[in-house]
C-alpha cells in the first residue's frame, strides 16, 4: 500500500507543478495532497504542525493568486478603475475563456477599466502590463511552493 501511495503522491506532485502553469489546475493544493498521502505511509511521519503550516501556505497562495495582479495594476500606476477591471477580467477569464482567459483576463480587464476611467491608451496599457506582471509573479510563487513540496517529499523518502 505504501508504494501505491508514494506513486500517487509523485503523480500529484507532477500534476501540481503543471497546475502552476495550466490555469485550470490548482497546483499547490494538488502538490499538498502528495505530502498528505506520503504522511499516511509507514515511511514518513510529518508532524501535525508541518501539515498545518503547509496547508496555511497553500491557502494563502491560492488567495494571493487572485489578488497579486491587482497589486501589479496599483504598482504600475493604475487607478481603482484598473483594479476593478483587473478583478472583473480575472473572473470573466476563468469562466468564459478557459484556459487562456486567466492570463488575458486580468490584462484586458485592467486595460478596459482604465479606458473606462478616462485614462489614455498608454496609461491603460501600463496598468494592463502591471496586471500581467502580477500574474507572472503569482505563477512564480506557486512554482516555488510546489518546488518546496517536491523537495520535502523527496527529502522525506531519502
Least confident of 26-30, 92-96, 131-135, 138-142: 92-96
Cβ atoms of residues 9 and 38 within 8 Å: yes
Query: For 134-154, how does the pLDDT look when each residue is reduced to its tens digit (9 = 90+)?
Result: 988 999 999 999 999 999 999
> CA separation (Å) from 13 to 38, 84, 104, 105?
11, 34, 27, 27
Query: For 52-86, how does the pLDDT look when each residue is reduced to its tens digit (9 = 90+)?
Result: 999 999 999 999 988 888 888 888 888 889 888 88
Residue of 27, 123, 128, 34 lying closest to 72 (CA atoms): 128
Least confident of 6-10, 25-29, 70-74, 154-158: 70-74
pTM of this prediction? 0.83
Q: Which three cell numbers stand for residue 152?
A: 520535502
Round to whole Å and give the CA distance between 98 and 7.
29
Round to whole Å and give the CA distance between 94 and 110.
15
Q: CA quadruple 30, 36, 40, 44: dihedral positive or negative?
A: positive
Round to whole Å and give the CA distance between 32 and 153.
10
Amino acid at each position: 500500500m505504501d508504494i501505491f501511495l508514494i506513486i500517487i503522491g509523485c503523480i500529484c506532485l507532477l500534476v501540481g507543478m503543471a497546475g502552476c502553469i495550466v490555469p485550470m489546475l490548482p497546483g499547490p493544493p494538488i502538490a499538498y495532497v502528495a505530502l498528505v498521502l506520503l504522511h499516511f505511509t509507514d515511511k514518513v511521519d510529518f508532524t501535525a504542525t508541518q501539515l498545518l503550516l503547509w496547508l496555511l501556505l497553500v491557502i494563502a497562495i491560492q488567495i494571493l493568486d487572485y489578488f497579486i495582479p491587482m497589486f501589479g495594476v496599483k504598482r504600475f500606476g493604475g487607478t481603482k478603475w484598473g483594479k476593478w477591471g483587473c478583478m472583473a477580467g480575472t473572473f470573466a477569464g476563468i469562466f468564459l475563456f478557459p484556459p487562456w482567459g486567466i492570463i488575458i483576463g486580468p490584462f484586458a480587464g485592467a486595460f478596459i477599466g482604465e479606458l473606462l476611467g478616462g485614462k489614455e491608451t498608454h496609461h491603460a496599457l501600463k496598468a494592463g502590463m502591471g496586471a500581467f506582471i502580477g500574474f507572472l509573479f503569482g505563477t512564480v510563487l506557486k512554482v516555488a511552493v510546489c518546488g518546496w513540496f517536491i523537495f520535502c517529499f523527496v527529502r522525506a523518502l531519502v
